[in-house]
Amino acid sequence: MQVIRTVEAMRAWSLQSKRSGRRVGFVPTMGCLHEGHLSLVQLARRTADLVVVSIFVNPTQFLPGEDFEKYPRDPERDEALCRGAGVDVLFYPETGAMYAGDHSVFVDEQRLSSGLCGASRPGHFRGVLTVVAKLFNCVQPDVAVFGQKDVQQARLISRMVRDLDFPVEMVVGPIVREPDGLAMSSRNQYLAPAERQDALCLRRALDRVEDLFAGGEREVERLLAAMMEVFRAIPSARVDYAEIVDDVTLEPLQKLDRRCLVVLAVWVGKTRLLDNTLLTP
């Protein structure tokens, strides 16, 4: 595995690989890798000849007062995991390599980003889209793989690819869970042992909705109320949002007559956790 630290070297490697007719798969990450990331690497491997993983804790997607400084970083472990997963290139740029001191151009989406995490974290997706656009320009992948856990992010990046004509195929990999059902996330490490237990309320709330839906319940209000009941039983849990939205437009639904997503962002103590599930009538 090669470790590449500069944009120029990354671009040169990609051009060379593509000239030799090889398809480049790409998994962008912020490091602190876990099984969820490694499953995305496996997916990339299935559709590409070479796999690039980037690790870059992107400052522009953190709001003032968020956890940019304390975001978990473990470069040695990440590098070993990438080697073990058969990654071909680890792209590990310094912040200075990615953003000029007077950087002033951003990618801003106007519709899908207005609700859910976009409402709670204004400016977050502008940072995400900007860095992903930059990473696409550095890596020039044929296929890029993102996780379903960050479903709004995945939908927004697909929209950016479509609207800005990036020649990149998008693949979204399923949520990978701990054996007890908690969706894997680098931020799970922030949870104290009691909070780790409480965090299972997200999966429980989704299970509740899935069961009711399977039993024929189609009233959005009743499904949401059932989830809120689960959260009310956990004092450390504070719901940021719990919504049922259209799978494509991410707009809240009144009637469950098409594929929809149940999306959750819940604070457990000081950690904000995301989860979601798809319901198909």
Give residues in contact with ligand PAF (CB under 6 A): 28-30, 58, 61, 128, 131-132, 150, 153
Of 112, 14, 103, 108, nearest to 54 by C-alpha is: 14
H-state helical runs in 188-271: 193-198, 201-214, 220-232
Question: For ligand PAF, which is the closer residue by CB, 142 or 150?
Answer: 150
For residue 242, the minimal CB distance to ligand PAF (Å) is: 21
Question: For ligand PAF, which is the closer residue by CB, 38 or 244?
Answer: 38
For residue 211, the minimal CB distance to ligand PAF (Å) is: 30
Question: For ligand PAF, which is the closer residue by CB, 61 or 236?
Answer: 61
Q: Per the structure block, which two tokens stand in for 256?
A: 């469950």
- How far is residue 195 from each of residues 93, 228, 278, measured CA to CA in Å? 34, 18, 26
- How far is residue 20 from each of residues 13, 14, 17, 49, 50, measured CA to CA in Å? 11, 10, 5, 11, 11
Question: For ligand PAF, which is the closer residue by CB, 51 or 279?
Answer: 51
Sign of the CA dihedral 68, 100, 164, 29?
A: negative
37 as an active site residue: the answer is yes
Of 8, 224, 211, 205, nearest to 97 by C-alpha is: 8
Question: For ligand PAF, which is the closer residue by CB, 36 or 115?
Answer: 36
Cα 57 from Cα 69, distance rounded (Å): 9
For residue 78, the minimal CB distance to ligand PAF (Å) is: 12
Beta-bridge partner residues of 147: 173
Q: What SS3 class is residue 172?
A: strand
For residue 268, the minimal CB distance to ligand PAF (Å) is: 19
Catalytic residue among 34, 37, 103, 124: 37
Q: Per the structure block, which two tokens stand in for 121?
A: 């974290």
One-letter amino acid at 132 equals V
For residue 213, the minimal CB distance to ligand PAF (Å) is: 28
For residue 40, the minimal CB distance to ligand PAF (Å) is: 10
Question: For ligand PAF, which is the closer residue by CB, 185 or 277?
Answer: 185
Half-sphere CA count of 151, side-chain side, radius 13 A? 27
One-letter amino acid at 94 equals E
Q: Per the structure block, which two tokens stand in for 253?
A: 């639904």
Query: Do 32 and 72 meet the contact criterion of CB atoms below 8 Å apart?
Result: yes
Active site residues: 37
